[in-house]
Structure 1
Amino acid sequence: MPEQTFAAAPVPGTDGTPLSAEDAKLVTLARSARARVGAVEGASVRDQDGRTYAAATVVLPSLALTALQLAVAQAVASGATRLEAAAVVTEASALDGSGHAAVRDLAADAPIHVAGTNGSLLGTVL
């Protein structure tokens, strides 16, 4: 199967509005997933039933997944058909295109919150 590439999505700045408690939980889960294994990124998603899935970046000789791709894959493998929201904790200034595309496969309008490694919100991709 040919490898697909997706352009990175720019992360707009925040307008100062705090995240809801549910979305703040996503950032906390993403930070924890990243810290647990010392990964480049951590991510989490919330499905249509309110279930959450957290993941970290995977880089193996035979497999590479962004944290967001893996979180979406876990949700789908558990029966999710739609996502309500997602969060990524990263050092990057842009949301990776592959993770962005994975979320959009299940939700055209789910917000993707991008936070720094300290948990501060950098912006939200809509």
Structure 2
Amino acid sequence: MPESPAAPSVPTPTELSVEDAKLVILARGARGRVGAVEGAAVRDQDGRTYAAASVSLPSLAITALQLAVASAAAAGASRLEAAVVVTEASTLDTAGHAAVRDLATDAPIHLAAPDGTILGTVVE
């Protein structure tokens, strides 16, 4: 069985722009509304935002970041400017990271704790 790729490392926290801070609020709200393990939000090239929570059903499991990216793509987004994941994990999941990179090779992906504290930002 092939090994899964290593999770992207999360560097030291950075100060967020006002627009990225709004993504944290949206991601926290998506997570809190349904009591999900994680919440995520993304902003597309037009400034539109998409928020989602992780889904874990017997027939479907999708990370919050994958679902937020899928919602953006389904709405016609061709590029992402930024993403946020709110989670108790200390690393960014590889599936969510890959989904963001499908629409943006350089958009920052901020990892935040459930209280909104920024843990770090992945830019690669």
TM-score by length of 1: 0.92
- 1:6 is displaced (CA, Å) by 4.5
For residues 33-90 of structure 1, what are the alpha-carbon distances to aligned partners after superposition, in whole Å with 9 as ceiling and x for unaligned? Answer: 0000000000000000000000000001111000000000000000001000000001
Q: 1:84 aligns with which of 81, 84, 91?
A: 81
Give the Å deviation of 1:7.
3.1
Report the residue type matching 1:11 in the other structure: V
Q: Give the equivalent residue in structure 1 for 2:69.
A: 72
Q: CA RMSD in A?
A: 0.9
Instruction: Name 2:102's counterpart in structure 1.
Output: 105
Equivalent residue letter for 2:11: P
CA distance in 2, matches of 1:46, 1:116: 19
Contact 1:41–1:88, Cα closer than 8 Å, also in 2: yes
What is residue 12 of structure 2 aligned with on the other side? 13
Which stretches in structure 1 are left out of the alignment for 5+ residues?
none
After the TM superposition, which parts of structure 1 deviate over 3 Å for at least 4 consecutive aligned residues?
Answer: none
Tell me if 1:56 matches 2:39.
no
- What's the CA shift for 1:8? 1.4
Alignment match, 1:29: 26
Identity between Structure 1 and Structure 2 (%): 74
Aligned residues: 120
Gaps of 5+ in 2: none
SS in 2 for 1:44: strand
